[in-house]
Amino acid sequence: MSDTPDNALIRLIYVSGVNTTDNSVFEHIQRHSEAYNKDNKIVGFLCNNNDSFLQCLEGTKERVSSLMQRIFRDQHHKDVDVVFSKNISAYTFTDWRMHSINLNDSNWKKFSKHPQLSGISPFKPHQWPYWFVDHFIESVKTIDYASLNKDIITFDKLGHSEVEKALASDNILFYIFLSVLISAAVVILLFRYNVVG
């Protein structure tokens, strides 16, 4: 992705091993990622069991790359492997909060009962081929999270609606500026060609 501009939107998915036996690390990671992702307009989700992490991130190349450097240095992760990274034209998790899905064995049995996930093997992302990881991501995006137990999925306090508001306010300012610029150009042309005066 060396040709991709720093401000371009990308989706990046990585898998890593869990390098701790302390279960509080999952709360720690979620708590710290909430603030970071909010400040950096990164959306997506994190799945884990006691052995593996799988995370999908969407944001600008610059921000996602910076986050990945932190993850590579994080002692709670081992064998970090970027499964793929690609350009996207817009955020695809438009109605999502950044959230964490706990896929330990008992939760996986509940989670994998959803029709979108039928046929997906137990949560072992290091063993999944690229196309299977992509299939898993697309399947997870279609699930109705309201029907899942609270012990499986934990939403952060941000909520994507606030991200959308922040992005929308940025876009509104841009469109106001663009409208003023176009209006000024039209007025100048009208005066220039004596259409008004």
Dihedral sign (CA 35, 142, 86, 10): negative
Helical pair 24-40 and 61-73, crossing angle rounded to 10 deg: 160
Note the pLDDT of residue 192: 74
Least confidently predicted of 55-69, 102-116, 155-169: 155-169
Note the pLDDT of residue 89: 92
Higher pLDDT residue, 149 or 87? 87
Is residue 182 scored above 50 in pLDDT? yes
Considering the chain, what is the average pLDDT of its residues?
Answer: 75
Whose structure tokens read 């869990």? 18
pLDDT in tens, 31-52: 677 777 778 888 888 888 888 8
Is residue 170 scored above 90 in pLDDT? no
Helix (H, G, I), strand (E, B) or coil at 49: coil
Confidence (pTM): 0.69
Give which of 102, 105, 109 is closest to 26, Cα–Cα: 102
Helix (H, G, I), strand (E, B) or coil at 162: helix
pLDDT in tens, 109-141: 777 776 666 666 678 888 888 888 888 888 777
Note the pLDDT of residue 23: 67
Model confidence band, residue 63 (pLDDT cutoffs 50, 70, 90): very high
Whose structure tokens read 């690229």? 130
